[in-house]
Structure formats: C-alpha cells, structure tokens
Amino acid sequence: MLNIILFGPPGAGKGTQSEKLIKKYNLTHLSTGDLFRKHITEGSDLGRQAQEFMDAGNLVPDSVVIGMVEEKVKNETNSEGFIFDGFPRTVAQAEALDRLMQENGSAIDMMLSLVVDEEELLKRLLNRGKISGRVDDQNPEKIRNRFAVYNNETTPVAEFYSATGKLFNIEGVGDIDRIFSRLTETIDAIV
C-alpha cells in the first residue's frame, strides 16, 4: 500500500497532479471536493448538507467529511493505496484519517505539499472558474475567504505530519510535468 496526502491551498494543482500520480502508481484518487460536487449533482442529502458551506467557501463540518471518507475507503477493498486530495483539512480530520488507516492495517506514508503564492493562486482560480463554472472559483472575495480558512484551519495539518517527518514541500509553480517530476522524485526516494 502507498498512501499519499497531496496538500496545498485551493488552486495549487492538487487535482491535476493527482490525476497523473494515480496513473503512475496505480492508486485510488479520493478528492473530498469532487465527492461533494458529485453528491450535489445527484441531489443527495449529503450534497444538500455540504452545499451552503461550499458556496460560501467555508469548510464542511468534520463529521460530514469524515463519514464520507470512511465510507469511500472501506468500499475500495482492492485498492493499492490512496491519494487524498483536499483531505484532511483540519487536525480533527487528520486524526480520524490516521485511525481509519490503522483500522485498515496501513498508514499515511507522506504528505506532499504544493507551495504556490496567493497572487498566482487567485489568477489560477479565477481562470478555472471561467472554464468550470464553479461558483466558489468565480468571486475574488470568496476565494480570499478560502485562503483565510486554509491559513487558519488547514495549515496546522501540515505541522501534524511534519511532527512525524512525513511532510515534504514541493515547489508548485512552473511547468506541470516539471512539478510532476518533483513529486515522483520525492515519492521514489521514500518508497
């Protein structure tokens, strides 16, 4: 099993790099943002619970997120490992993930954190909003709120993994393939 957390602020390129990493290492992609958007499209109860938080750029409550991740991990019985994308976003989620991995007889191997400055992130998100129609990517004020939420609630998660030597910072600006190489060099040096 290889279990990786791909970490970083909104717009850091987690989704793009996850798609490439799952192919190379034969992993299961678990993006909580994608799962919520799927629930919203399907009109499920969970989607209704998540939508107002997402539209405002705030975090969905931990209990809702953790329950959804547990279900997904437990259903993927044949998986060779996971790339967690956009999760965990709070220390409570990180603790729940560690417990879940332990129950599964595995562990988080590393957190790869994509480092990108906020002006570049803002540019990328507004551009993505034009293409995808994502409401939370279209309004600079909502985007700034997501950066604030990231800085206040999510960055402590990096410290949580840093404490056990599992955090690796990766320069997230420049050519997509070059960033991918930086990620794979880091992974291959550890596994």
**Catalytic choice (20, 72, 124, 134):** 134
Burial class (CB in 10 A: 0-12, 13-18, 19+), 17: buried
Near ligand AMP in 54-73, by CB under 6 A: 54, 57-60, 65
Positions in 68-107 near ligand AMP (CB under 6 A): 86-87, 89, 93
Of these, 10, 13, 129, 172, which contacts ligand AMP (CB under 6 A)? Answer: 10
Q: How do 82-85 and 28-31 pair as beta strands?
A: parallel
From the list 29, 186, 174, the residue with the least C-alpha distance to 113 is: 186
Which of 60, 143, 178, 157 is CA-nearest to residue 112? 157
SS3 82: strand
Query: How many helices (H) and strands (E) are present in the chain, helices listed first?
Result: 9, 5
Q: Is 124 annotated as catalytic?
A: no
Q: Which of 3, 32, 116, 172 binds ligand AMP (CB under 6 A)?
A: 32
Q: Does 33 bind ligand AMP (CB under 6 A)?
A: yes
Question: What is the smallest separation between the CB atom of 136 and ligand AMP, expressed in angstroms?
Answer: 6
37 is catalytic: no
Distance CA 22, CA 81 (A): 9
Does position 36 bind ligand AMP by CB under 6 A? yes
144 belongs to the catalytic site: no
CB-hemisphere CA count at 13 Å for 76?
18
- What per-residue string of b and e applies to 52-78 under the rule 16 or more CB within 10 Å gives b? ebbeebbbbebebbbebbeebbeeeee
Q: Which is nearer to ligand AMP, 113 or 188 (CB)?
A: 113
Instruction: Confirm or reject binding of residue 3 to ligand AMP (CB under 6 A).
Output: no
The residue among 32 and 113 lying less far from ligand AMP, judged by its C-beta, is: 32
Binding residues vs ligand AMP (CB under 6 A): 10, 32-33, 36, 53-54, 57-60, 65, 86-87, 89, 93, 136, 146
Residues annotated as part of the active site: 14, 89, 128, 134, 146
